[in-house]
Chain A
Amino acid sequence: MARSDLALARVRSAYERRHVIAALRGVVLAGALVVVTIALHRTTQMTWLVAAALGATLATYGWRGGAWRRGGLAGVLAGVPVFIAPTIYFMLTRGHCPQCATTPSLTCVLVCFGTSSAVGALVGHVALRDDSPRRFALGAISGALLTGLLGCGTVGFGGAAGVIAGLVAGGLTGWVVGSRTAHA
């Protein structure tokens, strides 16, 4: 084996090692969010499903690198307000919404939808500044969606629907408004 071939093999290995470490970090981050979810929310089968999806998604984005990784991490950070919104809502209403756990009220859905919309708009706007805006936006929206679902998904289908609708609507709005501002 020529010296440069050996060097190329080592270079590839170093590159992949870095990406695998980033993937493991994604899994650890997802694990930390699951621990917080257990502490803050009621866990259901849906929680474990979303947690597994979040772990797999962050690991894939971490391994993929670039805009996907940046977007995924930004998405998790952006998803934190959505993640804690139901807890704050329950704290403010002082237990006036115990039925939210199984049959969410309109207010619960609106809280999830409102925070998701705001976060989505922010993500759509920030994504335009990245070198690869589409990849960043997709990574961020999926990261925020899964993180938000860990929180709002525990209040039932309404909460989950609120997160999805809010993120898509907010993301598109932020993207369109950001594009127009950039072109103006």
Chain B
Amino acid sequence: MIDRGVVQRLMTAAADGDRAAIEPLFQTLWPVTLAYTTRFVGDAALAEDCAQEALVKLFGQLDRFDRERDGLTWALTHATWQCRTARRQRERRREEAHDVDAAADDRGHLEDRELVRSALDTLETLAARDREVIAAVLTDDDELRRSIAPATFRKRLERALGRLRTSWRSRHGTL
């Protein structure tokens, strides 16, 4: 159980410029502030950060300490603000991460669509015979395959793919 009178006395002394009161005041406030921030934010690491920041701010403003007010309440008020700020920042980071994921998905779809469009444009540059044999492979259309000898089909496909590759390189470079 923390003694409010001790906190008040040490805080008054530190506010009056007594350097010797800083460490005992910190040692008195640290556990109670840490327990408070842990209850507030839940996460232990974040709670330590909040307690540290709250006490740094408190000690940086000690010369403004109003002796009529309760010192412990003042310290915990700093901790409350710090926890609220930390929670807001954490929520904002989560939202930003979600937005980044969504944007990455959108970007992926867009890239896929552009790739397909480029492939179709390149395919358009080929001769009808070459397009025919490539389309037959892509769509599993066996009609053309059955109408010619398998070796001829393989040769025609090989030549068509070679021309497609050349056309792609001339338009978009190597992949």
B30 touches A4 (CB 8 A): yes
Q: Is B168 an interface residue (CB 8 A)?
A: no
Q: Is A41 an interface residue (CB 8 A)?
A: no
Question: Shortest Cβ distance from A81 into chain B, in angstroms?
Answer: 27
Which one, B18, B30, B51, B57, contacts A14 given CB within 8 A? B57
Question: Shortest Cβ distance from B161 into chain A, in angstroms?
Answer: 63
Interface string of B11-22 (1 = CB under 8 A from A): 010111110001
With an 8 Å Cβ cutoff, the count of chain B residues facing the other chain is 22
Known contacts A8-B26, A15-B60, A17-B60, A66 near B52 by CB under 8 Å: no
Interface string of A41-84 (1 = CB under 8 A from B): 00000000000000000000000111111000000000000000
Question: Shortest Cβ distance from B12 into chain A, in angstroms?
Answer: 8
Interface string of A1-15 (1 = CB under 8 A from B): 001101110111011
Query: Number of contact residues on A: which range applies?
Result: 20 to 34
B63 touches A14 (CB 8 A): no
Which one, A18, A64, A66, contacts B60 given CB within 8 A? A18
B16 touches A11 (CB 8 A): no
| List of B residues within 8 angstroms of A6 by Cβ | 52
Question: Shortest Cβ distance from A13 into chain B, in angstroms?
Answer: 8
Interface string of B45-70 (1 = CB under 8 A from A): 00010011001110111110001000
In Å, the complex CA distance between A64 and B15 comes to 10
Known contacts A7-B51, A10-B52, A11-B56, A18 near B63 by CB under 8 Å: yes
Which one, B26, B48, B63, B67, contacts A65 given CB within 8 A? B63
Q: Which residue of B lies closest to A65 (CB)?
A: B17
| List of B residues within 8 angstroms of A8 by Cβ | 23, 26, 30
Which one, A11, A65, A66, contacts B55 given CB within 8 A? A11
B26 touches A22 (CB 8 A): no
Of B14, B17, B30, B59, chain A has the most CB atoms within 10 Å of the CB of B17
| List of B residues within 8 angstroms of A18 by Cβ | 59-63
In Å, the complex CA distance between A22 and B48 comes to 29
Known contacts A4-B30, A66-B17, A131 near B22 by CB under 8 Å: no
A7 touches B52 (CB 8 A): yes
| List of A residues within 8 angstroms of B12 by Cβ | 131
A3 touches B17 (CB 8 A): no
| List of A residues within 8 angstroms of B23 by Cβ | 8
Query: Which of A's residues lie within 8 Å of B, judged by CB?
Result: 3-4, 6-8, 10-12, 14-15, 17-19, 22, 64-69, 131-132
A sample of 18 more A-B contacts (CB under 8 A), given A4-B30, A7-B52, A11-B59, is: A6-B52, A7-B30, A11-B56, A12-B59, A14-B57, A14-B60, A15-B59, A15-B62, A18-B59, A18-B60, A18-B61, A18-B62, A19-B63, A22-B63, A64-B17, A67-B16, A69-B17, A131-B67
